[in-house]
Chain A
Amino acid sequence: MVHRTLLVCAGLLFGGTLAAQQRPITGKVTGSLDGKPVAGATVAVVGTARLAATNASGEYTVSAPAGPVTLSIRAVGYKRKLVNVTGDQGSADVTLEADVFNLDAIVVTGQATGVEQRNLANAVSTVRFEDLNRAPTGTLEGALQGKIPGALIQSNSGAPGGGVQINLRGVSTINASVDPLIVVDGIIISNDAIGNNLNAITAAAAGGNASNQDNPVNRIADLNPADIDKIEVLKGASAASIYGAQAANGVIIISTRRGQAGAPQFRMTQRLGEFHVIHVLKSRVFRDSVEADSVYGSKAQTYCRPTCPYFDNISPLWDRHPLSSETDLSVSGGSDQTRYFVSGLVKRDGGIAPGTGYDKQAARVNLDQQLGSRWTLNFQTQAIHSLSHRGISNNDNSGTSPYLVFPLTPSFVDLRPTGSKITSYPDNPFERSNPLQTYAFLRNDEDVWRILATATLAWQPVASDRQTLRFTFTGGLDNFTQRNDIFSPPDLEFEPNDGLPGTVVLGKTQNTNVNLLGNAVYTLTPPSRAYRATTSLGVQYFDKSLNFTNLVGRNLPPGQSNIDQATSIAVNQDVQPVRDLAMFGQEEVLGLDERLLLTVGARAERTSRNGNVKRFFLYPKAAASYRFTDFGGAAGDELKVRAAWGQTGNQPNFGNKFTPGATGTIGGLFGSSAGFTAGAANIKPERQTELEAGVDATLANGRLNVNLTGYTRTVSDLILVQTPAPSSGRAASVFNGGRLRGRGIEVAAGYVVTQTPTVSWLVHATFTKTTSKVLELPVPAFQVGGFGTSLGAFQVEVGKSATQIVGNDSLGRVVQVGDGTPDFQLSLANDLTYGRLGLSFLWDWKHGGDVINLTELLFDLFRNSEDWATGGRQRRALFFKGETQPYVQDASYLKLREATLSYHLPASAVHQLFGDRVRNATVSLSGRNLIRITKFRGIDPEVSNFGNQAIARNIDVAPFPPSRSVFFSIDLDF
């Protein structure tokens, strides 16, 4: 029986290619506006599987069956065009019209299906290569800021090398995963943020385990923006349902660039630039011994006699700007049968503080191989190495993080070194460390090696005018090893404080994601062409295995950094294997002259993280859109109404289902007792149900495009922790319960102010507003972040916004003193070209959203704030009356995220400068975060002491200051 099945399968897989008469059709594709050739356009023979792509000169050759055929020509940035070719016609030149708003672009609707933007029933945002690479970015997430309506993308700190949270549509959970699912070329890659256990030095969290105050990098940072063709963002359950229980925070689908047939096309970008600190907080200036004594008592007397000297110890720490550089090189080309894209990246971002910086090298090979007329093989592989040096920042309890040292250090003390040796740095008489010494000699390296590899085999056994059938099989691997090396030499001022001078931390984390994905897509068009139905079915297997080990060695002899030499060693291991299996199906019907799109689909998924590992949880979705083309507007105007509904899950955290025992030894005997946390053996995923509706309009003769979306979502079965009666022996018990709601409005708008062959001006704007409310909570209100009510804490409470911040008022009552969610966000992008000159800039405005500013509180507490006389004194007085309010501050900001001025060199200049091999050359000057306007009094309004957080992100405790960058770039095509 099995044999027979296999034989039938083998027959189906490898059998019969249809033999038919063939003839070549050739032609050239050009753009209507400038008459320039369009490279990379896809030329398809409608009703067959035959495809060709244009070369750099816009030329194509496609083999078509005998008789009249229709060619469909499609290129990114151009409207799709259908061309009829008669049976005796051997060539067809095509002119494509610009598609400024990408209405003809195919947008993802499922794991293997897509639909043209003009029909799309969901608010899926697409960010393309040219939008990503306009201005250089430290890591990919930075290049997305301000470009996606519904997304709040904020840096957790200014340390080089990433650590950015992407939040789509506000609060979606309290205790489960907060990060969107990242899918690259069809496979789910890791976006883990793995702590380096800097906590061993900062003691920010009690206990020895890795803490989330370690300023970790989430690993999406590894991706190279220059490799990315487009990023599609599924923001909520209505669109992301097909990705099931990992998609509650949305899905970011990344497609990397592909090769184009033709002679090798080289593209090189060389960038050189610098980083500069944006903002620092400084210490108070003390005039004389009277002022100094009032704060420091007799200890100040040796410094102020009677006038105090002033030393700015803070600015020099953040005042480096070493040369930063980036070299991107890519080559693409190939034949009709084989196309390749190969790229390489070498990048170095110099850090603003001594010993900090970020290095990355990456290489990618993408291959597309035609295997006969019905089979194609796509192969993508990337190797990445990154090395970041992120210094020491964020909260501590050991007097080591600079902004926890500076508040206690008066400006009349000189911390500057007299030489370059570790002993040339003076001890800080007022706190446990000298940050200038710490940064000069403490090493905090994160070294990541990563391999991404994906292969997709596609088979199209049926391709006719009426029906097509396509199978794809994808296998993918994402493997990285993250090594953390922290070395704090015994000679640092603070090191002897614990009685064990010298600390070395060795962390090694290995993570492997294995993806297997099978899809079948069948399209049916009846002879009447009344509709087109697309049926897709798929199965997906996902296996993730994360293995974290961390060693902390203390008490090192001078000059030694080998952990062998440490006299005290602590070891920690955490292993997290996860397996998921899902099946999904989707039916999509496009009818009524391509005006109506109806979609229904569902995914059934089980995961080893659930209590019941056998149970499949179902995540359905449905969507509809209707396009009005003749509603009285001008020609080309159209209006679409759309609605979508769907569900996703959010998997339980690893270990939620376990009730771990506590272990230890006594007298050399191992023991295992009941732990304090009771897991839930029946834990299940959180469930998000989202309804989204919107209107998309193209107006003013196609010059204005507006997408308006509203959504409401409910998350139920939240993973919650309740406090049982302590006489049960347990302090916490995990369970599913409660409900929270999110609502929001998103607008994306584009307007072509003018577009002629010499002048063009495009404006894009996005608007985002989200709110949340806790509807049901079967436990008393609880705090999820912060350092207790008096210092401001995020409190989850029924009937309140999920991101409310509570604090004390002057009467000792606990009251709401703020909210982390912004009132709204607005971005405005302008893209101008005038002849060879180009200018683009992107403003990003966040209005509202509060941050708990504990860095300022520290300066105030120790009467050392720069504005002590005019502000600090009053804030401190209010705080000592019990008021939290002064330190919960409006963190609105307006940032010029990107600005680029470019010049496209004339052919003669290109020839003179680079010889005749180079076809195009562009020079540009670009900056990121050049302008920042904010009322926030802390170091940076985007900050998060606890890294990526579902709710409690806006807490400022001694962060690494943010920086702006300016780069000069030259792009060459040859």
Chain B
Amino acid sequence: MKATTCLLALAALGVWACDFNITDPNNPGPIGLDPSRAEVADHVIGVILAARSDAADWILDAGILGREAYRFDGSDPRFISEFLNGPLDPGGGAFGGDHWIEEYNAILSANQLLDVIGTASRLTTAEQDATRGVVKTLKAYAFVMVLMGHEEDSIPIDVDRPIGAPPAPFVSNAAAFAYVSALLDSADTHLAAGGTALPFALPPGFTGFDDVAGFRRFNRAVKAAVEVYRGSLGCGATCYTTAKTLLESGATFIDTSATANLAVGVYFDYSTNPGDAPNPLFQNPQTGENFVNPRIKDSAETKATTGLDDRFTSKTVLRDTVTTENLTSYLGWVRYPATTAQIPFIKNEELILLRAEANNALTFPVLAANDVNYIRVKSGGLAPIAGLGAQTQAQILGAILHERMYSLLYEGHRWFDLRRTGRLGPYLKDRATDAVFPTLPIPLDEVLARK
């Protein structure tokens, strides 16, 4: 019918012109090719946000597993039943199955940016390199977080794959650590070619490290930490030497001068501003669900003057005794005293103790003892240990770990430190029925995806 055709044509005329390609009006999509400077900046911050997303949760969970903390939570008994008693449940993504996908989401965010940064025509080659260096460093940090929680030699590293592709093969922890170490070097090489200023702003937690030179010092510090970890996990002298070299060369921000600030370092920021997150570890220390494991007080040393280790007294506070499930605590946390309290990535105080650990392993006991005593005096208000440099290597390591315990209290290190130095054991049990776990299981979905 001519008329029909006519009318349909008329009716359709206006309609056909409509654009059916509706882009997501609610959220940004993945970063595309040739990103603008602003897009690059947004996605660098995005990687930091993704890396931050698990930081506080890790500190709480690793704190319970490493016997720094308790959580007496009426609505969720698993903080006690699963973490102290077991078994660790690899399903569900919480508790046993946790501390995995958030890190890999940060790695995905980093990979998405790395995949397109070379096409960013608004950035100079140097700026592209600077961006690569920053993002690869953050990506390496996310892998370190995965490795701190898992030691079952089942770590996917080749994860930059499209959705639906077969999952990345598992590699051993040692191989994964080697990959992270190389990734940090690659990042450093990019930064070395990255000019002077970064092409984006970084949050306040990066103050002092927010230009290329500063960020390189952060990168080298992470590298040093990774090398010490590797050293203790079997790599031995080779890795310790790399760490020692880095920490003695001025490549990092280690500082033991008289005016040194032990807190200098890189931090995650928190706030109650729109879109931001408050630090979830901040609680009213008298009423919150999070408690200090009393063994932290039991092993705290007394200062030469009076009172306990400054690091203990500044991070914990007495509260009413609470007993539940035969666990008792009378201490609350003030380590993070506000919703805006920062959580450290890495700080000068840790670098000094890392150097001590490398020197001790490489049989420079006096150098190690000097750093330990420096921290004891400066950070704890304690007396130096006389004759520490003459003690055995194992004794000095014990002293280093003791200082790490208080210097890095409630910062997510203790459990991993005990594991990598072989010091996890039944002595950590609060109740006879408890278990001490060396690792979190690989999440069930990760295993199922390979079947």
- Tell me, rounded to whole Å, the shortest Cβ–Cβ distance linking A782 to chain B: 12
A670 at the interface (CB under 8 A from B): yes
Chain B contacts for A733, CB-based, 8 A: 163-164
Q: Contact between A520 and B26 (Cβ–Cβ < 8 Å)?
A: no
Least CB separation from B11: chain A residue: A518
A671 at the interface (CB under 8 A from B): yes
CA separation between A13 and B203, bound complex, in Å? Answer: 67
- Tell me, rounded to whole Å, the shortest Cβ–Cβ distance linking A443 to chain B: 26
Q: Contact between B11 and A664 (Cβ–Cβ < 8 Å)?
A: no
Q: Contact between A537 and B28 (Cβ–Cβ < 8 Å)?
A: no
Contact of A671 with B49 at beta-carbon distance under 8 Å, contacts A606-B20, A725-B156 already known: yes
- Tell me, rounded to whole Å, the shortest Cβ–Cβ distance linking B112 to chain A: 6
Q: Contact between A725 and B105 (Cβ–Cβ < 8 Å)?
A: no
A658 at the interface (CB under 8 A from B): yes
Which A residues from 107 to 138 make CB contacts under 8 A with B? none
Q: Contact between A608 and B21 (Cβ–Cβ < 8 Å)?
A: yes
9 contacts between A and B (CB under 8 A): A471-B3, A575-B25, A575-B26, A608-B21, A661-B46, A670-B42, A672-B46, A727-B167, A729-B104
Interface residues of B, Cβ cutoff 8 Å to A: 1-4, 6-12, 15-16, 18, 20-22, 24-31, 41-50, 52, 93, 100-101, 104-109, 112, 156, 159, 161, 163-164, 167-168, 201-205, 268-277, 443, 445-446, 448-450
Q: Contact between A664 and B163 (Cβ–Cβ < 8 Å)?
A: no
Q: Contact between B22 and A731 (Cβ–Cβ < 8 Å)?
A: no
- Tell me, rounded to whole Å, the shortest Cβ–Cβ distance linking B114 to chain A: 12
Chain A contacts for B163, CB-based, 8 A: 678, 724, 728, 730, 733
- Tell me, rounded to whole Å, the shortest Cβ–Cβ distance linking A723 to chain B: 5
Q: Contact between A660 and B26 (Cβ–Cβ < 8 Å)?
A: yes
Which A residues from 668 to 688 make CB contacts under 8 A with B? 668-676, 678
Nearest 5 pairs of A and B residues by beta carbon: A729-B108, A671-B45, A667-B203, A673-B46, A660-B27
Least CB separation from A667: chain B residue: B203
CA separation between A665 and B41, bound complex, in Å? Answer: 12
Chain A contacts for B28, CB-based, 8 A: 660-661, 663, 672
Chain B contacts for A578, CB-based, 8 A: 22
Chain B contacts for A658, CB-based, 8 A: 24, 27, 29
Q: Contact between B49 and A664 (Cβ–Cβ < 8 Å)?
A: yes
- Tell me, rounded to whole Å, the shortest Cβ–Cβ distance linking A460 to chain B: 12
- Which of A4-12, A35-43, A940-948, A958-966 has 4 or more CB atoms under 8 Å from chain B? A4-12
Least CB separation from B25: chain A residue: A575
- Tell me, rounded to whole Å, the shortest Cβ–Cβ distance linking B79 to chain A: 17
Least CB separation from B23: chain A residue: A658
- Chain A, residues 748-792, CB within 8 Å of chain B (1/0): the string is 000000000000000000000000000000001000000000000
A337 at the interface (CB under 8 A from B): no
Chain A contacts for B2, CB-based, 8 A: 8, 12
CA separation between A623 and B183, bound complex, in Å? Answer: 66
Chain B contacts for A574, CB-based, 8 A: 26
Chain B contacts for A518, CB-based, 8 A: 7-8, 11
Chain A contacts for B112, CB-based, 8 A: 674
Contact of A655 with B24 at beta-carbon distance under 8 Å, contacts A9-B10, A667-B269 already known: yes
Chain A count of residues within 8 A CB distance of the other chain: 66
A-B residue pair count with CB separations less than 8 angstroms: 214
Contact of A9 with B446 at beta-carbon distance under 8 Å, contacts A671-B49, A728-B163 already known: no
A613 at the interface (CB under 8 A from B): yes
- Tell me, rounded to whole Å, the shortest Cβ–Cβ distance linking B276 to chain A: 5
A662 at the interface (CB under 8 A from B): yes
CA separation between A666 and B44, bound complex, in Å? Answer: 11
Contact of A659 with B30 at beta-carbon distance under 8 Å, contacts A727-B446, A728-B108, A728-B167 already known: yes
Q: Contact between A662 and B26 (Cβ–Cβ < 8 Å)?
A: no
CA separation between A733 and B161, bound complex, in Å? Answer: 14
Q: Contact between A729 and B276 (Cβ–Cβ < 8 Å)?
A: no
Chain A contacts for B47, CB-based, 8 A: 671, 673
Q: Contact between A539 and B12 (Cβ–Cβ < 8 Å)?
A: yes
Q: Contact between A5 and B6 (Cβ–Cβ < 8 Å)?
A: yes
Contact of A671 with B156 at beta-carbon distance under 8 Å, contacts A571-B274, A577-B22 already known: no
Q: Contact between B6 and A8 (Cβ–Cβ < 8 Å)?
A: yes
- Chain A, residues 155-171, CB within 8 Å of chain B (1/0): the string is 00000000000000000
Q: Contact between A579 and B43 (Cβ–Cβ < 8 Å)?
A: no
A516 at the interface (CB under 8 A from B): yes
Contact of A670 with B275 at beta-carbon distance under 8 Å, contacts A607-B20, A725-B449, A727-B167 already known: yes
A84 at the interface (CB under 8 A from B): no
Q: Contact between A729 and B107 (Cβ–Cβ < 8 Å)?
A: yes
Contact of A674 with B109 at beta-carbon distance under 8 Å, contacts A518-B7, A539-B8, A729-B101 already known: yes
Q: Contact between B167 and A537 (Cβ–Cβ < 8 Å)?
A: no
A543 at the interface (CB under 8 A from B): yes
Q: Contact between B20 and A723 (Cβ–Cβ < 8 Å)?
A: no
Q: Contact between B48 and A666 (Cβ–Cβ < 8 Å)?
A: yes
Q: Contact between A666 and B203 (Cβ–Cβ < 8 Å)?
A: yes
- Chain A, residues 532-575, CB within 8 Å of chain B (1/0): the string is 00000101010100000000000000000000000010110111
CA separation between A673 and B43, bound complex, in Å? Answer: 6
